[in-house]
Amino acid sequence: MPRLWSQIAGSLGLLTLAVLVLNAGVFWIVLEQGAVKRHTDLAWSLGGALEAQLGAAVRSGAKEDVLIDAVNAVGRSNLGLDTLVLMNPALEPLVAVKGVAPLGMDAGMRSALLAKERHIEVDGAVFERRRVVVTVPVVGAAKIVAVLRIALPLEGPQMPGGPIGFAVVYSIACGGLIALFGWARLHRTMVVPIQRVQKGTQAIAYGDFGFLLESEDTQELQSLVASLNDMSAALAAYRRQTADQVTSLEAANSSLRQAQDALIRSERLAGVGRMAAGLAHEVGNPLAAVIATVDLLHEGTVDVSNQEEMLGRARVELERIHTIIQSLLGYAHQGSGSPSRVDVHQVLSAAVRTVEHQPVFQNKHVVIDVEAPDLHVWMEETKLHQVVVNLLHNAADAPQSSRIQLHLVTKGEEQIELSCEDNGVGFVPTALEQAFEPFFTTKDVGEGTGLGLSTCMAVIEQAGGTIEVFNRPESGACVRIRLPLLSS
């Protein structure tokens, strides 16, 4: 990439060269016109002198031989004539000292013969050999006796190489002087200050905020320096302000972490309290029934015929307590087995086969919709089977539900999405908010423990996935699970 000073110097150099060439041409034209003027004046004066000399001789009665001798005398002089010819009025040469007589009537001859006046002209092109031609009438007794043609060679200014050589030498000499002076001036007033500004800008760019550049002589560069100094000072102030803000943010972050830790501890305690309250509620009713039965049997007031029935009811209540405790232990000890490569489609099919003969599914239409059959995840197969069975049971228990659909698709290249949808009435608002809380259930007492969805969430999160519940826009509820896709 060209540098700024080289571009400016190149532009100035081209402009200077053009001006120098133009000046050289003008100067050469002036010299040329001076040379033409000198030769023209010399030829005109010589023609006037010969006109007076020959005219006087004719008027004194001289013959042609006298005129010829006078012309020969002029030819012997060292005047550097190119043409010296004396002709009669019929344009027949009387004597040709130098050159040849014109072949016909030209402008000079017409002026001399018809107007009896001297005529002068420059013959030849600018870059060719030129000459000054003077035609002089020799008048005697009111008539033209002869015509004298004189021509002097016109030489331009004596310069080496002619006009082109003069232009080259002139341009080189003047251009070299101007270039030397211009480079020194440009280097001092532009290149060096720009280099100083560049070094200062680099210092600011490398983090030396607050660095101040030196003042410059030119108004434009001084305005740039002032702007850079303002920017450097502003950056230094911004750095100090940022450092203060970082310190404040670190202190606020530390306080926030402490508050978050306290909130987590409180939430854990609240979760333990809710679980304890749920467990007490779920276990309290059947336990009270068992205690009442035991008290009655201990008092011995119950008929023998009713004792077996009461013992049976007590056993049912104890089994219910056992089921609740086993469910709670299963929720608290997720992932005791070993994960493996699991074919999700096969698990869905096995789960449907597990529940399809149960009474609650007799009037339910279960559909499996799989985008691709070969989709695998990394987790415990029995746990995924348990999750799908729980979702199917929840969908079957939904009021007014007659159709259940398991929908399996891929999400991008890294996840699968498993949805369990029903066409029932959907979740009530409270169920959407507390669906994953342990012991929360909308079923009647004795029909559910409230650990199904919370157990599913624990299993899915352990496998690196997510689970969410929502109501479908058309109708019914949906539980959506996303798990990392295991590449084949």
Instruction: Give CA separation, 445 vs 282, 283, 424, in Å.
Output: 8, 11, 21
Q: Of 347, 334, 336, 422, whose CA–CA distance to 377 is shortest?
A: 347
- 406 pLDDT band, cuts 50/70/90, is very high
The counts of H helices and E strands in the chain are: 11, 12
Count Cβ neighbours within 10 Å for each residue of 381-408 and write b for 16 or more, e otherwise: bebbbbbbbbbbebbbbbeebeebbbbb
Are the CB atoms for 333 and 370 separated by under 8 Å? no
C-alpha span between 28 and 312 (Å, rounded): 137
Each domain of the chain, given as residue ranges in start order, spans 4-162, 337-484
Residue 104: other Cβ atoms inside 10 A? 6
Collapse the DSSP code of 227 into the 3-class scheme (helix H, G, I; strand E, B; otherwise coil) and give the result. Answer: helix
Comparison of pLDDT for 442 and 221, the residue scoring more: 221
Tokens standing for 192? 């060096």
Amino acid at 164: I
> For the domain bounded by 337-484, which CATH number is listed?
3.30.565.10
Per-residue pLDDT tens over the stretch 102-129:
888 888 888 888 888 888 888 876 666 7
Collapse the DSSP code of 20 into the 3-class scheme (helix H, G, I; strand E, B; otherwise coil) and give the result. Answer: helix
Q: Which CATH number fits domain 4-162: 1.20.1250.20, 3.40.605.10, 3.40.640.10, 3.30.450.20?
A: 3.30.450.20
- Residues with Cβ within 8 Å of 385's Cβ and at least 6 positions away in sequence, in order, are 347, 350, 351, 354
Gap between the terminal Cα atoms of the chain:
52
Per-residue pLDDT tens over the stretch 372-403:
778 899 988 888 888 888 888 888 888 888 88
Give the pTM. 0.38
Tokens standing for 71? 């012309």
Per-residue pLDDT tens over the stretch 67-104:
888 888 888 887 778 888 988 888 888 888 888 888 88
Using a 10 angstrom Cβ sphere, with 0-12 exposed, 13-18 middle and 19 or more buried, the burial of residue 257 is exposed
Phi/psi for 299 (5° steps) reads -70, -20
Tokens standing for 376? 């695998």
Per-residue pLDDT tens over the stretch 133-156:
899 898 877 788 888 888 888 765
